[in-house]
């Protein structure tokens, strides 16, 4: 009997180890814009954690997952928002070292996501490989142990989309049942999976044909431009801490003139951007290169550092214990002058929303765009967190 009991005990132990190794849902966060739900983000980890440092352990298998809530969502707009978060939550050294990987990652996003689509990004601790899939269909992989954390910092770093978003992902498994229920109901249909499979197959064939043609006619490669001379590398460590430290401790300043928040490229006050507009933006996008991505990320961090200098915490809001996050979409002209300000997400308090808009106005003119990014206008997102010292 003892040998049998020993075998059973070993089997139970093996099952326990397997269960422990399975990814656990660490947290969920709902992303909204214009007061409309866009997607639910999730972080899975072998070990539950309530701190960013613990989740950034690159010896631990982890997964990022996005399930689309909106009926339709531009994949590139989603990707660009993520790239902005990467820019302000990673050091300039990390951005430089990951530029080529970011090109590979960015090219995995095309078309439009539909409600129920599931984007998964898995990190294999053993190999250090990050694998990306959409609805279970493999899109690509990046064999760099540090790349996954570069993505994750955009969600749980010092400047997340909002403090609520970050807190939701750092829940250590304590997720709201209602949000979890909605998350689990979001599934792609079999028709959608078949559609994506066919589209990806066509894209692979076209890409293969184009690569063959380009290789045959490709001239000798040119030397890469020295980005360090085009854009002074910013200290992103200082920029990352900026939104909270100055906002908490800076003495209140006199309010500026009454703000005139206006939407970017849209006439109404709080519209939902039409799909046609999104498609036009996608068609106008320049071909992605490591130099272009790095230039965008460094310039974006420069714009945010400039904005953070002008943020003050309204005195009355401090006295009343009011806290919150505001996210604005700002459009500037080639000289850095503000053309439009569009609220993507607002706090519950009018004074905090007003101060965020006024800070952008006070910051104008912004640093001019570098030559490789110069266009009639440049858009960037500003996340601002008002949080009182503990």
Q: What are the residue ranges in the chain where pLDDT is below 50?
A: 1, 5-20, 221-283
- What's the predicted TM-score (pTM) here? 0.72
State residue 200's pLDDT score.
82
State residue 287's pLDDT score.
74
What values do phi and psi take at 192, rounded to 5? -65, -40
State residue 273's pLDDT score.
40
Residues 174/235, Cβ–Cβ less than 8 Å: no
State residue 285's pLDDT score.
60
State residue 376's pLDDT score.
86
State residue 226's pLDDT score.
34
State residue 214's pLDDT score.
53
What values do phi and psi take at 161, rounded to 5? -55, -35
Give the start-end residues of each E strand in 97-200. Answer: 112-114, 118-124, 129-134, 137-143
State residue 212's pLDDT score.
61
Residues 240/84, Cβ–Cβ less than 8 Å: no
What's the token pair of residue 321? 């214990």
Q: Is the peptide bond before 365 cis (omega within 30 degrees of 0)?
A: yes
């Amino acid at each position: 009997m003892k040998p049998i009991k020993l075998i059973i005990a070993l089997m139970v132990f093996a099952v326990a180890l397997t269960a422990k190794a399975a990814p656990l849902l660490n947290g969920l966060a709902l992303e909204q814009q214009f007061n409309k739900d866009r997607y639910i983000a999730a972080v899975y980890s072998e070990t539950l954690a309530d701190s960013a440092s613990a989740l950034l352990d690159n010896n631990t298998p982890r997964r990022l997952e996005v399930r689309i809530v909106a009926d339709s969502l531009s994949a590139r707009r989603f990707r660009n928002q993520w790239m902005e978060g990467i820019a302000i939550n990673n050091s300039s050294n990390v951005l430089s070292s990951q530029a080529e990987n970011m090109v590979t990652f960015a090219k995995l996003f095309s078309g439009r996501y539909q409600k129920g689509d599931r984007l998964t990004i898995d990190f294999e601790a053993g190999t250090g490989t990050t694998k990306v899939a959409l609805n279970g269909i493999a899109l690509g992989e990046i064999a760099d142990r540090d790349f996954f954390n570069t993505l994750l910092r955009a969600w749980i770093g010092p400047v997340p989309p909002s403090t609520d978003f970050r807190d939701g992902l750092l829940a250590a498994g304590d997720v709201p049942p209602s949000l979890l229920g909605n998350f689990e109901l979001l599934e792609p249909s079999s028709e959608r999976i078949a559609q994506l499979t066919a589209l990806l197959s066509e894209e692979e064939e076209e890409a293969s044909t184009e690569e063959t043609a380009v290789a045959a006619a490709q001239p000798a490669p040119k030397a890469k431009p020295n980005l360090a001379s085009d854009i002074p590398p910013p200290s992103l460590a200082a920029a990352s801490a900026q939104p909270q430290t100055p906002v908490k401790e800076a003495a209140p300043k006199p309010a500026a003139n009454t703000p005139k928040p206006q939407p970017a490229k849209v006439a109404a006050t709080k519209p939902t951007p039409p799909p046609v507009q999104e498609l036009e933006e996608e068609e106008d996008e320049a071909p992605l290169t490591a130099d272009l991505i790095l230039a965008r990320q460094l310039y974006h961090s420069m714009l945010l550092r400039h904005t953070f200098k002008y943020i003050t915490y309204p005195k009355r809001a401090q006295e009343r214990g009011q806290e919150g996050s505001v996210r604005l979409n700002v459009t500037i002209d080639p000289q850095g002058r503000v053309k439009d300000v569009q609220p993507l997400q607002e706090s519950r308090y009018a004074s905090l929303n007003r101060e965020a808009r006024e800070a952008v106005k006070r910051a104008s003119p912004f640093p001019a765009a570098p030559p490789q990014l110069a266009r009639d206008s440049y858009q960037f997102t500003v996340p601002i967190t008002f949080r009182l010292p503990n």
